[in-house]
Structure 1
Amino acid sequence: MWSRSRTLAVVAVAAVAGLGLAGCGFQPLYGNNTTTATGTKLSEAMSSVDVQPIPGRVGQKVRNELIFANTGGGNAAAPRYRLKIALRERDIQQLVQVTGNAQGQVYQLQARYTLLDVASGQVIHQGQAVSRAPYERFQEVFSNIRARYNAEDRAAKTVSESIKSQLAAYLATT
């Protein structure tokens, strides 16, 4: 059992540590007043990222998610950066029965991206994001197609959120 003095000591240490961290320059990544190292608002820098078209249904989903996340549904700023994304899709069979049929599958989406400076054409940042979305297989064909589409949509959303976070972290420090 903790005594009252011990509890007060822990609270005092936590308060001193909190005060020490208050001046360390920490700022939230998605705050209203978050600025980049150059002094521009992070939201403006993110809205100036031109997301290039990505082939396929899943590619279009990733692109749409990124555009909406970067602009908030508003108008995009004049492009200062160009984002190129290459996707790789894969199905991993799970729960394989004796007959060879798989009851469950995992849809894996891997994205490799490159951020270029529009003015110079130089690559300024590269990265990747991976998402896995499980789904069940059924006897009905339509159910299988619908389950696969749902898994693709979930994976596309996760990948786009990961890319957005990586870009925001990079742009906040440059």
Structure 2
Amino acid sequence: MRRLRATCFSAAFLAFLGLAGCGFTPVYGTGSPIGQVLADIQVAAPSSREDYMFVRSMEERLTRNTQGRKTLRYDLSLSEVGLDIIDVSRSQVLGKVTYELIDEANGEVVVSGSVESFTSFSTVDDFPTLMRNDAQERLINILADRVMSDLAAKLAMT
């Protein structure tokens, strides 16, 4: 058993050394080109409760930057669909974010995209409004993560 552990540890250590020697750099790292672009983004001001939650989520990921040279403009839409499964009452909250990253110096669209997701909640609980709000907040966090991933991937290709 000790021999197996030692072999596994040695293999993991060698793999780590190999990864460190290959020039691997994190996408969001402070010295990476994508990290520098992401640090220079400001998110457009919110106009509704849902927009506010989205901007807050994005700023947690990007850090708040009111002087950024690029602006992330977005269109967030949420809708609710009831699901009546036998003896189970649930609703789904569907969400979509369409975004554009605008270079403020020349007004050009740097990258654009769209992401979608959903969450669900029970409608038979005593607090359906709280459950709906929680589902919306979870969905908005998921959408913010997807926008960040999509944005980073597209910036890496430009």
Tell me whether the two structures share a fold, i.e. TM-score over 0.5: yes
Match of 1:28 among 20, 26, 29: 26
Partner letter of residue 30 of structure 1?
Y
- Displacement of 1:65: 0.9
- Cα distance in structure 2, aligned partners of 1:87 and 1:165: 17
Deviations 1:147-174 (A, max 9, x none): 0000000001111111122223334555
Matches within 5 A, 1:85-104: 85-96=74-85, 103-104=89-90
Seen in structure 2, the aligned counterparts of structure 1 residues 15 and 48 have a Cα distance that, compared at 3 Å, is closer
- Cα distance in structure 2, aligned partners of 1:30 and 1:89: 28
Secondary structure of 1:107's aligned partner = strand
Deviations 1:108-146 (A, max 9, x none): 111010111111100110111212111000264xx1110
Partner letter of residue 103 of structure 1?
S
- The aligned counterpart of 2:103 is 117
Contact 2:83 2:89 in 1 (8 A): yes
Contact 1:35 1:172 in 2 (8 A): no
Partner letter of residue 148 of structure 2?
K
Contact 1:47 1:77 in 2 (8 A): no
Identity percentage of aligned residues: 26
Secondary structure of 1:157's aligned partner = helix
Which moves more between the two structures, 157-166 or 115-124? Answer: 157-166
- The aligned counterpart of 1:128 is 114
Deviations 1:3-25 (A, max 9, x none): xxxxxxxxxxx999988766654
- The aligned counterpart of 2:55 is 63
Greater CA radius of gyration, 1 or 2? 1
Unaligned stretches of 5+ residues in structure 1: 1-13
Contact 1:66 1:160 in 2 (8 A): yes
- Normalised to the residue count of structure 1, the TM-score between the two structures is 0.71
Contact 1:36 1:171 in 2 (8 A): no
Deviations 1:1-51 (A, max 9, x none): xxxxxxxxxxxxx999988766654322233xx53449xxx1x43232111
